[in-house]
Structure 1
Amino acid sequence: MSWSTVPAREFARHADAWAALHAQGPATSLLALDFVAPLVEQFGRPGDLLAIEKKGTAVRAMAIVRATRRGAWATFQPAQAPLGLWLQQPGLDTEALARSLLGALPGFPLIFALTQMDPMLMPRPLDGACVRTLDYIDTARVTLSGSFEDYWAQRGKNLRGNLKKQRARLEREGVVTRLQVDRTPEAMAQAVEDYGRLESSGWKADKGTAVHAGNAQGRYYRAMLEALARRNAASVYRYYFGEQLVAMDLCVEDEASIVVLKTSYDESVPSNLSPTLLMREEACRRLFDEGRFARLEFYGRVMEWHLRWTDEVRTMYHVNYYRWPGLRRLHALLESRTRPAPTPTTSL
């Protein structure tokens, strides 16, 4: 196997190769060229590399990688990317590719990690002499088959009853709800600005993590959504109480799935109303009725509200590839020694 590396800032020169390789595998929007290129532009650092593996002239694998600490490299993993930025042709040996890349990276690294891998897209490998997998998070999805009525009837009585009561209250108060979906490139700049206003009015503003049209996050989401919308692969859901914007979803799409990347809501809405859940109910009804997608994906850490929406949960994972078997054993030993001891229990 023959890997070469170039600075990640040269990604645009290799964009066609990335797009062609992406089309050969599970073509998730989260690894599409239009999703990845703005990540590199807005969140890349000097020293990040684009790694390319070829057999002859055929590109068989690509990855964007970053040195994470002395002796360790990993796939580039900004917070805005649900998946590690790794592509390979289907059927290739991932372990062999990763170990070969480990030998090609500068500085004689001892560990290379594939981060935030989805077992639905890349089967989780078995642990081995130089391989160790680690759970990352549980994530949820909704399979969009059958009718919405059948799906909704399987949800808990508390969820269905609570949202029904909220809708009755809004109707009594004369509040008309409205779901608006925008898909055009021209709509995305305003969508990011609106989303930023919602998020900046809440707790994320205090922590400095809110999306804003003028910060790197805002520039990323605008560029990415505009690019994907040009090929009908992005959507923005807005939910209104009358004329008040109360909730938003930023979504990306591929042939099989729609992914909710970001959700925000107006925290000034009374706490006994749930604009996000009301929006989600209407959005799900529309997705079931349209029949365009097989799955609705969330990709975030499973929360309590996800489990009211679905029982489809899977575990995402990381993989560490070690230069030597002894290093893998040492790493596992050191981690076990630093892991908190279980709390003892006593019997009466």
Structure 2
Amino acid sequence: MSTSKTTLPEGIRKLPSGRFQARYKAPDGTRRTLGSYATVKEAQKELILKEAEIEQSRWIDDRKADVAFGEFAWDVFGHKERTLKASTVTAHRSLLNRELLPVFGTMKLKDVTPYEVEKWWGSRKDKPVSKHHAYSLLNNYMNTAVRWGYLASNPCLVRGALKDPSEPRPVWGVPDFQKVYGYCTDQMATMLIVAFSGHLRAGELLGLNRGDFDPETGVLTVSRAVSKQAGLTTPKNGETKRVTLLQQGRDALDAHLRGRAMDMDAPMFTGPRGGRVKYAELRAGWVKGCEAAGLENFHFHDIRHVSLTHIAHTGASLREIMARGGHKSVQAAMRYQSATGQRDSEIAALASAGFIR
């Protein structure tokens, strides 16, 4: 006996071909077709699964995944660039244009499958670090596609692709820094010891004004930084940091500022033409010192790691190290217990005593 239309379960209808089509009402109110099946039972099973997805808030609008990857990627880029550093925005734009769009740009989002991603990964013959960065950005954007309801899952499943392929960096210590410091004179030496004493990034050091240092307390206020792309901006984490300098940094700044006109808004360190010292000038001075000391691959940013490790050796707690370093995640710990100015002074004194020039 044939199945009549009136006896078919809700959401299922018989097609002229004899197959059974399953249809459902999506959360947005539209009617959607799941497909056609050989039997009513198969069609019912798919309907039940789809209704469960809707009930459990797991439903994905598969029509959204018909958008081209390139269109979606620029949408994500525009959303993210408002919260990223200028240098990161530049790097992401370059990776999109150079690495991802030529391959996936015109492909529908739903067609960027694990197979397509793995095929692309396997075809790349460039340097491991460049390959890693491109894959990481693709993975980031596909995670966004899942979060925004474009895809049910991330197709970036290549094993080991997210592992950083960079070669391990050398482990530097205070004696290495002191070697370089010993070959620098005048303003460059002062800049290095201040960077060490306050655990400063290069941009934070270059962004200092004369009014940022309190000679009475030895506290340095870090509220701005120089960016290669954006000029004078906020520090990396967007927050002001106040740190008690080691005595060596404090003495060096006292000597540096002595006799200078105290325009509080004037740059702390000036170049040959009177403006702020530039990145290129700072790097040139650092490289010259490293070469004289016979040390290769010692980066300026390593000063920060060396100095914070030195602080850790004084017995400072992780929370106190994070406070001196100005790490973003310190805010969570500060809700319950904050590092006091008195304790920060004690830590600076201990570290000063352990820093032998």
State TM-score, norm by structure 1.
0.31
The structure that is helix-richer by fraction is 2
Structure with bigger gyration radius? 2
State TM-score, norm by structure 2.
0.30
The structure that is strand-richer by fraction is 1
